[in-house]
Every structure is written in C-alpha cells, then in structure tokens.
Structure 1
Amino acid sequence: MDSAKVISLEGRRDDPLRYGIHGVKSDIIEPHPLESAYRSAKLKQEDMKKKILCNTYGAAFPMKMELDRQILSKFQRPPGAIPSSFLGLEVVDGTLEGFGFEDYLNDPKDSESIRTTDMHHGMEVRLGLSKGPPCPSFM
C-alpha cells in the first residue's frame, strides 16, 4: 500500500477499543521481512528515476514533479459518502495502471456491514475538535 495514499488517523492512539492493543514489537520490526525489502527497493527505484530525469531534463524537472505530487496528495474531499480518490496523484505517480488486491477482491469500504460516515464528526476530527477515528468501522 502506498504511504502517500494513506490518510493518518487523528486523535488519541492509546484507545485499545478503536486501535487495538499496542505492542512494542510492532514499533521495532516490520510486520513481514519482505515488506522492508519492498520499501527499500521502491525507494531505490524512485531515486534512480529522479536521477535519470535530472540528467535528461535538468534539475528543475524532478523538483516540479515532486511539488505536483505534494499538491495532489493534499487534495481531499470532506468526509462523507464519497471518499477521496486521489486520481491525480495516481496519474502523476504512475500507479493508475497498477492492479491491486482491491481490483479483484472486494474492497472493505464497499462492504454492506460498514457504517456510513458522519460528515460532521469527520470534519471535527480533522480540525482537532473531536477525538477518535474520522471514519467509523464495521458494525
């Protein structure tokens, strides 16, 4: 899962009913050994791509692409019935052509057992007026 697409949950992290029991082991090691290898290979590939673009088009082009990526990663819809799709970010990153698990398995957000999002509570959490996850979990 791409870290740029993940929306961080705001509020208290020490609530075991919402976030699960906290373990020190999960802070020290990765969930799976291949995950760290995947992340490091992805970082090397992105670094190599930036170097190639810098040598081909000049130093300003990779900086402009990074600025575009930062702008597109911050665009979000208000919490509600329609989630943010980050389509522009997927086009810039080149992940639009990717085929993830949500393309052939059911996306958990499309489940019938998930509760609908309350727009007012989601905005309160985003602005820091309320605590807890901005989106409700399953029933």
Structure 2
Amino acid sequence: MEAAKTEKAIAHEIGGIQNDTLRFGLHSVKSEIAGSHPLESAYQSTKEVQEQMKRRILVNTYGSAFPLKMDLDFQMLSRFQRPPGPIPSSMLGLEALTGSLEDFAFEDYLNDPREAETFRPLDMHHGMEVRLGVSNGPACPSFI
C-alpha cells in the first residue's frame, strides 16, 4: 500500500540538486501553497464514489473475485507503456478496461497539449533514466 503512495510523488531532485531550473522550469511557491480548484476536488471525490459504487455492484453481481481480477488487469495495463520518445503511449487497453474510451475530454474538442507551441521536447535519455530509476524527477517537463 505504501509503495503505491510513493510512486505517485516523484521528488524533483537529480544528483543532489533540489532546484534544477533548466530541466524543470522556474520554482513557484504558489503552486506548492495553493491547492487544486474546488471544482476539481469535487470532481475527484465524485469519481471515487462512483468507482466504489461500481465495485460494490460487481461484488454483488459476480462475486468478490471479479473486482480483484479487474484490479490485477488494471495494474498490468497501467504499467505497459512505450519508451519515452516522439510517439506517446496511448494506453488503449487501460482506457478500454476503465471505460474511459466513451469519455469526451478536452483533447477531443480542443488541441492536443503536445501540439502546443510552448510544449518542451522530450529528452529521451532523461526519460529512460527516470524510468529505470537512475535519476529522479518527471520524465518530461511538459511546458515552458
């Protein structure tokens, strides 16, 4: 359980340097102090409640082993990714499992964020170092 929590938070420290401005951009105090938007937190809590209800329905319908099998499939499909590079991972299997293929996100009607002018190109070597655990930090700082 604790391993899953530590994977979510990636420390921004490479080689003992806490603030690497060239790789991660300028440090912002406001981003650390201010929390997420209230609408975003309400959306996340609603999403969690819906997932719990769906899980209870599956337990009542198919038995307690079915949600465990779905959790195992979720873990396997969430790890399957392409190496960092010009072609991003689509995670199609994970989207099919979670049912998010039917969702209509902002990328569907607005431009893809990877096509923005402020998008920073991916450093493939740093991305593989992060994936293999050689260095810490985000695999790709997304915007300038």
> What's the TM-score once normalised by structure 2's chain length?
0.75
**Unmatched tracts of structure 1, length 5 or more:** 1-6
* Structure with larger RCO (C-alpha < 8 A, sep 6+): 1
Shift of 1:16: 6.8
SS in 2 for 1:106: coil
Alignment deviations for residues 56-95 of structure 1 (CA, whole Å, 9 cap, x no partner): 1111111111111111111111111111111100000000
RMSD: 2.6
Q: 1:101 to 1:56 in 2, by over 3 A?
A: same
- When structure 1 is superposed on structure 2, of 12-21 and 84-93 the one drifting more is 12-21
1:56-135 correspondence to structure 2 within 5 Å: 56-112=61-117, 114-135=119-140
> What's the TM-score once normalised by structure 1's chain length?
0.77
- Which has the larger helix fraction? 2
- Contact 2:12-2:19 at 8 Å conserved across structures: no
